[in-house]
Amino acid sequence: MARRAQPISAIPGAGAALLVAALILGTLAAVALRAEAGRGFAASDWAALRFTLTQAVLSAVLSVGLAIGVARALARRRFVGRSLLIALLGAPFILPVIVAILGLLAVFGRAGWISQALGFFGFESLQIYGLHGVVLAHVFFNLPLATRLILQGWQEIPAERFRLAAQINAGPGAMWHLLEAPMLARVVPGALAVVFAICLSSFAVALTLGGGPRATTIELAIYQAFRFDFDLGRAALLSAVQLLLTGCAAYLALRASSVEGTGAGLDRSLRRWDGTGGRAKTIDWAWILFATVFLLLPLIAVVLSGVSGLVLLKIAVWEAALTSILVSAGSTVLLLLLAVPMAASVALGKARLIEVAGILGLAASPLVIGTGLFIVIYPIADPFDLALPVTALVNAVMALPFALRILVPQAQAVVSRYGKLVLSLDMAGWAFLWRVFLPRMRAQIGFAAGLAAALSMGDLGVITLFADPEIATLPLQIYRLMGAYQMQAAAGAALLLLLLSMAAFWILDRGGRWHAEA
Amino acid sequence: MLRLEKCKIENGDFSVLADLQVNAGARVAVIGPSGAGKTTLIEAIAGFLPLSQGRIMWGDLDLRDLPPGQRPVAMLFQDGNLFPHLSVAQNAGLGLRANLRLNQAEQAQVQQALERVGLGDLAARKPAALSGGQQSRVALARVLLQKRDLLLLDEPFAALGPALKAEMLDLVAEIATETGATVLMVSHDPQDARRIADAVILVADGKARSPMPTAELLDNPPPVLKDYLG
In Å, how far is A515's CA from the nearest CA of chain B?
10
Q: Is the model more confident about A83 or about B56?
A: B56
Which of A164-173, A349-358, B44-53 is most confident?
Answer: B44-53
pLDDT at A262: 42
Q: Domain boundaries in chain B?
A: 2-72+148-229, 84-146
Report yes or no: B144 at the A interface, CB cutoff 8 Å. no
Distance CA A418, CA A432 (A): 10
Q: Which residue among B68, B85, B95 places its CB closest to the CB of A5?
A: B68
Q: pTM for this one?
A: 0.83
What whole-number percentage of chain A has pLDDT above 70? 93
What's the CA gap between B157 and B118, in Å, rounded? 17
3-state secondary structure of B5: strand
Q: Provide the mean pLDDT of chain B.
A: 91
Q: Count of A–B CB contacts within 8 Å?
A: 77
* SS3 assignment, position B11: strand
Q: Are B191 and B173 in contact (CB under 8 A)?
A: no
| pLDDT of B164 higher than 60 | yes
Instruction: Please state, as a whole number, how many other Cβ atoms lie within 10 Å of the Cβ of residue A312.
Output: 13
Question: Confidence band (pLDDT; 50, 70, 90) for A38?
Answer: low
Nearest neighbour of B83 by CB, restricted to A2, A418, A424: A418
- Asked whether the beta carbons of residue A423 and residue B48 sit closer than 8 angstroms, the reply is yes
**What is the nearest CA distance from A412 to chain B, expressed in angstroms?**
15
Tens digits of residue pLDDT in A316-349: 899 999 999 999 999 999 999 999 999 999 888 8
Nearest CA to B138 out of B181, B76, B71 is that of B76
Overall fold of domain B2-72+148-229: Rossmann fold (3.40.50)
Same fold, A34-261+276-306 and A311-518: yes
Residue A280: how many CB atoms within 10 A of its CB? 17
Residues paired with B75 in a beta bridge: B152
pLDDT tens, residue by residue, A46-68: 999 999 999 999 999 999 999 99
Q: What is the pLDDT of residue A144?
A: 94
Q: Which pLDDT does position A205 carry in this prediction?
A: 92
Asked if the model's pLDDT at residue A269 lies above 90, the reply is: no
Q: Who among B73, B81, B99 is closest to A421 (CB)?
A: B81
pLDDT category at A358 given cuts 50, 70, 90 is low
* Closest in A1, A425, A517 to B94, CB measured: A425
For residue A313, pLDDT over 90 is answered with no
Out of 3.40.50.2300, 3.60.150.10, 1.10.3720.10, 1.10.150.20, the CATH code matching A311-518 is: 1.10.3720.10
- The tens digit of pLDDT for each residue in B95-153 reads 898 888 899 999 999 999 999 999 999 999 999 999 999 999 999 999 999 999 999 99
Contacts of A424 in chain B (CB under 8 A): 46-47, 68-69, 73-75
Give B68's pLDDT tier (boundaries 50, 70, 90). Answer: confident
Average pLDDT over residues B82-104: 90
3-state secondary structure A398-449: HHHHHHHHHHHHHHHHHHHHHHHHHHHCCCCCHHHHHHHHHHHHHHHHHHHH
Residue B201 host element (H or E): strand B199-204
Mean pLDDT over each residue of chain A, to the nearest integer? 86
Kindly report, residue by residue over A81-107, the tens digit of the pLDDT.
888 888 888 888 889 999 999 999 999
pLDDT in tens, A428-437: 888 899 889 9
Kindly tell me if the per-residue pLDDT of A291 is higher than 50.
Answer: yes
Report pLDDT digits (tens) over B170-179. Answer: 999 999 998 8
A34-261+276-306 CATH choice from 1.10.3720.10, 3.90.1150.10, 1.10.1740.10, 1.20.1530.20: 1.10.3720.10
Whether the CB of B46 is below 8 Å from some CB of chain A: the reply is yes
CB contact under 8 A, A418 and B94: no
B83 interface with A at CB cutoff 8 Å: yes
Q: In terms of pLDDT, which residue wins out, A158 or B161?
A: B161
Chain B 96-125, residues with CB within 8 Å of chain A CB atoms: 98-100
Which residues in A have their CB inside 8 Å of a CB on B? Answer: 1-2, 4-5, 417-418, 420-421, 423-428, 430-432, 434-436, 439-440, 516-518
**Which residue ranges make up each domain of chain A?**
34-261+276-306, 311-518
Q: What is the pLDDT of residue A113?
A: 86
Of B4, B35, B29, nearest to B215 by C-alpha is: B29
**How far apart are alpha carbons A274 and A172 in whole angstroms?**
8
A2 has pLDDT over 70: no
Q: What is the pLDDT of residue A4?
A: 61
pLDDT at A271: 67
Which CA distances in Å does A235 have to A218, A227, A366, A371, B78? Answer: 10, 9, 13, 7, 60
Cα distance from B34 to chain A (closest Cα, Å)? Answer: 21
For position A426, what pLDDT does the model report? 86
pLDDT tens column, A121-174? 878 777 888 898 999 999 999 999 999 989 988 888 887 788 777 777 777 788
Nearest CA in chain A to B71: A424
**Pairing relationship of beta strands B14-22 and B2-11 according to DSSP bridges:** antiparallel
Q: What is the DSSP letter of B213?
A: E
Pick the residue from chain A with its C-alpha nearest to B81: A421
Output A288-294 pairs: Cβ under 8 A, ≥24 positions apart.
A288/A70, A288/A73, A288/A74, A288/A77, A288/A79, A288/A85, A290/A66, A290/A70, A291/A70, A291/A73, A291/A85, A291/A143, A291/A147, A292/A85, A292/A88, A294/A140, A294/A143
